[in-house]
Chains A and B, each alone.
Chain A
Amino acid sequence: MTRYIKVGTGGGEVTWHRAMLDLTPGDYLMLEPGYYDWPRGKVIEDITIQGLGANPEDTRIRSFFRIGPNSGRVCFENLYLEPYGETNTIDLPEDANSYLIFRNCVLKGNNSKITTLAINGQASVFLFSTRLTGGSISFFATSSFRLEMADCDLDFASDDFGAISFEGEGTAIINNSRLAGAITSFDSCNIELDINNSEVGCLNLTGRTWLNLLNSQIVQPEYSLYARGDCWLNIVSSDFFGQFCLAERARVLIQNSELYSLQARDEARMTLTNVVIEATTSLEGTSSADCQLVTFKSNGDYQYFVYLVDSAQLTGRNLLFEPNASTALVEDQALLKANALYHQGQPLEIKCQKPENISLLGIKWTALKE
């Protein structure tokens, strides 16, 4: 039976100190607004802590929560959690296997490499209507996890560390949220990452990452996405404000989306449908792109608006070219085979040594030689 315990200094309430001494798994602590310190070294198991303030900032706990090995469910609600200093706020160690739920909370990080929420064991982590300021979430190599986020705001725009980092195995579902920093996966990971209706700083993916991205914006201007390893990306109706880069064996299905630029090398393979590429498209190595209703534009930022070298292949149908006085380049063994619907006025200029590697039907084009 759950014990509802009102903690405060009013009549009929128990003190925080007493509540800590008597704490029993299953307790539901209801904290009057104020400042509290979670005792250092005390593990937390099967406890719900709820702040009774009008907003999370009213009830603050200075904390280093360590989830105990016998815990099944730990829940924080309407609370502001801040670390003691250079520590995690919450640590779920390797031997733990627990639900970890945050609802309407604010988690303050310390703007450093020390992760706010450190997951090493098995965990189902739920974050609803929660803000994480200056802190990050890390799923380490030993973790096996499920992460669900809805209506959350993560504000950790660091050049060095990801806002959310994945090294272990599991599924992460991010809905209706905003992440100012990077989502990073590592070589050792094996994850499914579903992002829906959200705004993310950038995606830095590798290992075995299976991404489903829907109705989202990736907003970092320098680069939006870098995928390598054995990533499989399925992207629908999303916009990338910076570079979209693929390497190694990354494979991409992308449709109804806008990219600032597309750069692929190694063995990357792409299938693009109804996509607009604003600045340049660059394929190197043995990378290939199969395109349908794709618009290749130039905005003047790059010398070539289509750049195919090595053994890269660009094939497709119903392509649109908007070179804006820029030229394309097809060199080495690279192939361009497609039919085009439209380009602007003058014949499309393609710099190439082997015109036989180009088959472009539906528009006029001219070969430029050095």
Chain B
Amino acid sequence: MARIVKVAADQTPFDRAITGIQKDDVLLLSPGEYFLPGLDLGDVVLKGTGSSPEMTVLKGNLLLLGRYLTLENLTLEGEEAIEVLNQDNPYLSLRNCIIKSSQTGIIAHGDLNFESYSCRFEGGGLDLAEGGAKFAQISDTTFTGKTAIKADGSGQLNLSGVVGQDFKLDQGDFLLYFDQVSASEVYLGSSTLEAAESSFKILSSVRGDIHVLNSRSDLVQIVSGQGNLLNSRIDLFQAMFSDCQLANCHVDEVKANGSSRLSLIRTFFKMDLELAGKAQVQLADCLLENPKAQLTVRDSAGIRGNFLAEADQVLEVKDATEGLVKITGIKSKLV
């Protein structure tokens, strides 16, 4: 049975609690500051007992060495606040914590099962480095630094209600579930992203697939792999060598080249549709939001399908080779 150890100046002092720590202890830390000179910890729960996490502050770096470490309702301050050593599948759980760091909030070498609920990372974020299998469940958490998450290796990251800037997953092979995530830029390598009700810029994808629903994005760039976007608003959609479907989307601009194949269903275009290389586009019931929108078709790219347009709407078609543009439902003018 876990021991509950109350840590306070007039009860068990912190030094004594740490010296005599046993597996599965729960340390209840009274409000105050505690200094951690590079402390190895594992298989314990540290709980701040203040009315907010700011009232119990741990200063220094923590080294997770063991099966698990759980931190609750406290603030941790350090250069690299928590370092997880390479070991067999450890668990790190943070609840209602603030992680302040000048370099990296948490750096994990190798495997990690990570949970963060209602936390705030100030300064550094989460660095899942050096391969290994990583599983993260991050909810209701804010990252204030430039890089929120950087991950190498493989595994699954489930994010809901997360705010951050850059998510750099280009070195790994992850399955990402985003729900209500706000990110400046998401760098995807061969990872697969499944996102809903989120806002982000997806910068590139080497091989991975992207499935986006009810979201907002400045840029979705799919180099390879497959894309599926539904009920979303995108400023610029760019496909290179990919197969993509867009349905009920509002897109300012679409660019497709290489050997891309695009299927656009009930998609609203505001600006231009630019095709090159061997890109092939199939339209179904698409609409023009802006009467000045242009279609540019270069090389051996082709487009076919129908628009739903008003009688006076005209689509300007540039650079098209005869026979590669077969559009019905709208008047078109070759420029």
Which B230-289 residues sit within 8 Å CB-CB of chain A?
230-231, 243, 245, 247-248, 263, 265-266, 282, 284-285
A-B contact pairs, 24 of them (CB 8 A): A4-B245, A10-B284, A10-B285, A12-B282, A50-B228, A50-B230, A54-B231, A77-B211, A103-B194, A128-B177, A129-B179, A129-B197, A150-B139, A150-B160, A150-B179, A151-B197, A176-B180, A196-B118, A197-B161, A236-B95, A236-B96, A253-B4, A253-B47, A292-B6
Query: What are the interface flags for A45-68 relative to B under an 8 Å C-beta threshold, 1 for contact and 0 otherwise?
Result: 000001011110000000000000
Q: A175-B161, A273-B49 are in contact. Are A104 and B180 (CB under 8 A)?
A: no
- Complex Cα spacing A88 to B213, Å: 27
Q: A151-B160, A151-B161 are in contact. Are A274 and B51 (CB under 8 A)?
A: yes
Q: A128-B177, A176-B139 are in contact. Are A53 and B248 (CB under 8 A)?
A: yes
Tell yes or no: A37 within 8 A of B by CB. Answer: no
Contact of A103 among B28, B213, B263 (CB under 8 A): B213
Chain A: residues with Cβ within 8 Å of the partner, total of 42
Chain B: residues with Cβ within 8 Å of the partner, total of 45
Tell yes or no: A6 within 8 A of B by CB. Answer: yes
Q: A2-B226, A126-B177 are in contact. Are A78 and B231 (CB under 8 A)?
A: yes
Tell yes or no: B117 within 8 A of A by CB. Answer: yes
Chain A residues with CB under 8 A of B226: 2, 4
Chain A residues with CB under 8 A of B282: 12
Let me know if A236 and B230 touch, CB within 8 A: no
Contact of B95 among A6, A28, A214 (CB under 8 A): A214
Tell yes or no: A353 within 8 A of B by CB. Answer: no
**Interface hub of A53, A77, A103 (most chain B Cβ within 10 A):** A103
Tell yes or no: B165 within 8 A of A by CB. Answer: no
Let me know if A212 and B95 touch, CB within 8 A: yes
Residues of B within 8 A of A (CB): 4, 6, 26, 28, 47, 49-52, 72-73, 95-96, 115, 117-118, 137, 139-140, 158, 160-161, 177, 179-180, 194, 196-197, 211, 213-214, 226, 228, 230-231, 243, 245, 247-248, 263, 265-266, 282, 284-285
Let me know if B245 and A292 touch, CB within 8 A: no
Expressed in whole angstroms, the minimum distance between the Cβ of A75 and any Cβ of chain B is 8
Let me know if A194 and B117 touch, CB within 8 A: yes
Chain B residues with CB under 8 A of A11: 284
Let me know if B284 and A12 touch, CB within 8 A: yes
Q: Using CB atoms, name the residue of chain A closest to B265.
A: A52
Q: A103-B194, A175-B117 are in contact. Are A256 and B51 (CB under 8 A)?
A: yes
Contact of A128 among B28, B196, B243 (CB under 8 A): B196
Tell yes or no: A30 within 8 A of B by CB. Answer: yes
Let me know if A196 and B140 touch, CB within 8 A: yes
> For chain A, what secondary structure do more than half of its interface residues adopt (helix, strand, loop), or is it mixed?
strand
Expressed in whole angstroms, the minimum distance between the Cβ of A196 and any Cβ of chain B is 4
Chain A residues with CB under 8 A of B96: 214-215, 236-237
Q: Using CB atoms, name the residue of chain A closest to B115.
A: A194
> For chain B, what secondary structure do more than half of its interface residues adopt (helix, strand, loop), or is it mixed?
strand
Q: Using CB atoms, name the residue of chain A closest to B140.
A: A197
Expressed in whole angstroms, the minimum distance between the Cβ of B263 and any Cβ of chain A is 7
Expressed in whole angstroms, the minimum distance between the Cβ of B17 and any Cβ of chain A is 15
- Complex Cα spacing A253 to B70, Å: 14
Tell yes or no: A148 within 8 A of B by CB. Answer: yes
Contact of A215 among B6, B28, B140, B231 (CB under 8 A): B140
Q: A148-B137, A253-B47 are in contact. Are A176 and B161 (CB under 8 A)?
A: yes
Chain A residues with CB under 8 A of B248: 52-54
Expressed in whole angstroms, the minimum distance between the Cβ of A216 and any Cβ of chain B is 10
- Complex Cα spacing A272 to B53, Å: 17
Expressed in whole angstroms, the minimum distance between the Cβ of B54 and any Cβ of chain A is 13
Tell yes or no: A271 within 8 A of B by CB. Answer: yes
Chain B residues with CB under 8 A of A292: 6, 49
Chain A residues with CB under 8 A of B47: 236, 253, 255
Let me know if B118 and A104 touch, CB within 8 A: no
Chain B residues with CB under 8 A of A78: 213, 230-231
Which A102-120 residues sit within 8 Å CB-CB of chain B?
103-104
Query: What are the interface flags for A23-57 relative to B under an 8 Å C-beta threshold, 1 for contact and 0 otherwise?
Result: 00000101000000000000000000010111100
Expressed in whole angstroms, the minimum distance between the Cβ of A249 and any Cβ of chain B is 10
Which A100-155 residues sit within 8 Å CB-CB of chain B?
103-104, 126, 128-129, 148, 150-151
Let me know if B284 and A104 touch, CB within 8 A: no
Expressed in whole angstroms, the minimum distance between the Cβ of B8 and any Cβ of chain A is 9
Expressed in whole angstroms, the minimum distance between the Cβ of A186 and any Cβ of chain B is 23
Chain A residues with CB under 8 A of B247: 30, 52
Across the A-B interface, the 9 shortest Cβ-Cβ residue pairs: A150-B160, A175-B139, A196-B117, A52-B247, A128-B179, A273-B49, A197-B140, A150-B179, A176-B161
- Complex Cα spacing A176 to B137, Å: 13
Chain B residues with CB under 8 A of A367: none
- Complex Cα spacing A45 to B170, Å: 31
- Complex Cα spacing A151 to B51, Å: 27
